[in-house]
Amino acid sequence: MPLSLFFLVLAAAALHAGWNAIVKHGTDALLGTALVTGSAALLAAAALPFVPAPSAHSWPWLALSTLLQVAYYTLVARCYRHGDMSLAYPLMRGCAPLLVALAASMLGEPLPATAWLGVLLVSAGILCMARGARGRAFGLPLLTAAVIAGYTLVDAQGARQSGSALGYTLWLFLLSGLPLPLWVLHSRRDAALAHARHHWPLGLAGGLGTTAAYAVALWAMTRAPVAMVAALRESSILFALLISVALLRERVPRQRWLGAGLCLAGVLALRLA
């Protein structure tokens, strides 16, 4: 993986942790998630006229990913209702790379030994950080990880067949970003409008962050093995841990710091692969 690509994916990881912090910081995770996804959809709609449209071959992948992304956004909101960001985020993001690596390897994209070491270290670090989780605080992030692995593999294929990773990403955020805010407006109209009036700058920042982060990741997957990019993206848990302590004032146990160290070692292994 070229050094420039490595640092771009790291920047995308930081952006991803940032928009999750925006959701967790609010008083209502569902409304916060809807505001971020709705903002991302509006930004995507504004940018679409200026980028090439994705190839027709990628549209079946785009349709499947849209369903998975909607499920992902809903699960993210539920995860943050039942657990701290320093617990939910590492668990749901850290289990995904191992699932992606296993699936990608079976689909004919083998990894070098050093890359496998990196994937395993990242995953072990996340599991260490999540030690002690029970009930929904444990089960929901695991389910979210499976959805993340699913849409990562789907979008890797879609982006590669699209001829325009940016166009594919923008259409994805437009199509997947609308269902949740529309449902919230239907079921909780007054609360949703009030939340948007008071927090629209944060929602806009989150929408920009999630769109930019995933656009970079998908572009990277067209130039490097999917499993390597997926695992490197999960270095976002390091940023999430720092945000949890510095901004959200969460208490982070010692084993989560140990897990962060394992994740950092995994990221370095991926860089050397």
- The rounded percent of the chain whose pLDDT value lies above 70 is 96
How many structural domains is the chain composed of? 1
Helix, strand and coil in the chain, % to nearest 5: 85, 0, 15
Looking at mean pLDDT, say which of 11-20, 40-49, 160-169 comes out highest: 40-49
Distances (CA, A) of 3 to 9, 122, 135, 272: 10, 19, 40, 10
The neighbour count for residue 269, using CB atoms within 10 Å, is 20
Q: What Rg, from alpha-carbon coordinates, does the chain have?
A: 17
Q: What are phi and psi of 248, to 5 degrees?
A: -90, -10
Query: Residue 147's pLDDT is what?
Result: 93
Query: Residue 49's pLDDT is what?
Result: 93
3-state class (DSSP) for residue 2: coil
The neighbour count for residue 82, using CB atoms within 10 Å, is 17
Average pLDDT over residues 122-130: 77
Q: What is the DSSP letter of 50?
A: G
As a whole number of angstroms, the distance between CA 62 and CA 66 comes to 6
Residue range of the domain that includes 202: 3-272
Q: Is the pTM of this model over 0.85?
A: no
- Tell me: the pLDDT tens digits for 152-205? 889 988 988 998 888 999 999 999 999 999 999 999 999 999 999 988 898 899
Query: Residue 133's pLDDT is what?
Result: 66
Q: What is the pLDDT confidence band of residue 71, given thresholds at 50, 70 and 90?
A: very high
- Tell me: the pLDDT tens digits for 251-268? 777 887 888 788 778 877
Structure-model confidence comparison of residues 198 and 133, the more confident one? 198
Query: Residue 273's pLDDT is what?
Result: 67
Q: Looking at the predicted structure, is the pLDDT value of residue 132 above 70?
A: no
Query: Residue 73's pLDDT is what?
Result: 93
